[in-house]
Amino acid sequence: MSINSVPTTDHLPVVVVGAGPIGLAAAAHLIERGIEPLVLEAGPSVGTAVRDWAHVRLFSPWAEVTDPAAEKLLAPTGWARPDGATYPTGGDWAEQYLQPLAEALGAKVRYNATVIGVARAGRDRIVDSGRDEQPFTVHIQTADGYEERITARAVIDASGTWSTPSPLGANGLPALGEKPAADRVSYRVPDLTDPAVRARYAGKRTAVVGSGASAFTALAYLADLAKDEPGTHAVWILRRGITGSTYGGGEADELPARGALGLRAKAAVENGYASAATGFRTESVERDADGRMILVAEDGRRLDPVDEVIALTGFRPDLSFLSELRLGLDERLQAPTALAPLIDPNVHSCGTVYPHGVNELSHPEQGVYLVGMKSYGRAPTFLAMTGYEQVRSITAALAGDQDAAERVELTLPETGVCGGAGLFDEPENAEQSGGGCCAAPATLQIGIGAPR
């Protein structure tokens, strides 16, 4: 080798963090491009996070939650996609798609391998000299505590945000008393088919905090429970006022299942199974003499005691293991700097997502990419098909096919919903701040030439 030549890392694998839908799709696209992937999954099985909400039905049908490269990889095994017009549960998605895909990838997926750090080999984030020529070193810890280092040519972080739910506190920090009340606070949609979980909420008064699809789902489940179990009641806590968009797009939503979910939440309120507390920004959680919780708002309002709290206030990315990399992240959303304005819920109130691929997902640190839910940071509007397009573009770039990498083409359904979870809307000015109803639904053709 010439003394002036630059060592190549092409023989090294691309490490993919997370064996969820987007991580496995990334692996499939890498294989299609002739690049060796290594998928590292912290959990004991494929789709660990998805399995945590196995009881929840997706609002996207099968046709929109499988990846084309993954389907090609599965084809020789005899796998056939379920009816594209039907809606899988999280359990269906994991068992009928993710599990077969992981089996097709075989040893390219490692389980119980938690990534605890990523850096440039021999360089912390301060050092400039020779940085871009160095491979990545990925530090992992196995379930038994053993630590290992893996050398990689690039890193695709598809670890998602499931492990870091946002707290009750309206300022983004845990409310006072939230942590001591952990035995009565859940951050997940309850599985009321589980007898133990059902008993936890049956006949109880439960506060549901949040305004998105997860909150709609929890309200609908609790309303069904209330029909069978007297005394069951939900208190829906909204940081904003109720507007025309509070319950989602309804019949105007091009994702019909999502629209129907909002209508079920609306029915829960109208039928008396739930009551709404609007403009309520939780500051603290107190306990009464019976151990029940009293939520207190920033303006001093106190709600009647509740037995349980379900906090569904969104998720945020865990960036701790990427601290030695030079990431370019938006200061609000914690999404890649170039992507953030395209998905910012303060601006994009109707789910408009302009084209994005490797260019918008790149960082000052070359060769590292956040994809899937993680790429959206705190923005709540991610769809699986967006993630599949992200990894298609990135793997094309890693293969040196820049034309394909920049040819980002995507068709997304109009959400039918205005007003993102990040908006600070008062009831009287919701219309002005993006909280009003959307215009007539239309399919958004997302591709070359869309406005930026």
pLDDT for 380-421, tens place per residue?
878 899 999 999 999 999 999 999 999 877 766 554 433 333
For 354, other C-beta atoms within 10 Å of its C-beta total 18
pLDDT in tens, 345-354: 776 543 456 6
Q: Tell me the pLDDT band of 356, cut-offs 50, 70 and 90.
A: confident
Distance CA 206, CA 235 (A): 6
Buried b or exposed e, range 165-175, using 16+ CB within 10 angstroms = bbbbbbeeebb
Write down the pTM of the prediction.
Answer: 0.86
Tokens of 102: 């992981």
Distance CA 251, CA 262 (A): 10
SS3 state at 169: coil
Distance CA 97, CA 181 (A): 38
Is the per-residue pLDDT at 326 higher than 60? yes
Closest CA to 224 of 214, 211, 234, 215: 234
Residue 27 contacts residue 54 (beta carbons within 8 Å):
no
Percent of the chain with pLDDT over 90: 72
Distance CA 389, CA 357 (A): 7
pLDDT in tens, 237-277: 998 766 555 555 545 454 555 557 677 878 888 889 999 89
Distance CA 212, CA 189 (A): 12
**Complete DSSP assignment for 97-109:** IIHHHHHHHGGGE
For 197, other C-beta atoms within 10 Å of its C-beta total 16
Residue 391 contacts residue 22 (beta carbons within 8 Å):
yes
Is the per-residue pLDDT at 227 higher than 50? yes
Residue 392 contacts residue 69 (beta carbons within 8 Å):
yes
Q: What is the 3-state secondary structure (H, E, C) of 343-373?
A: HCCCCCCCCCCCCCCHHHHCCCCCCEEECHH
Tokens of 396: 């094309």
Q: How many residues does the chain have?
A: 452
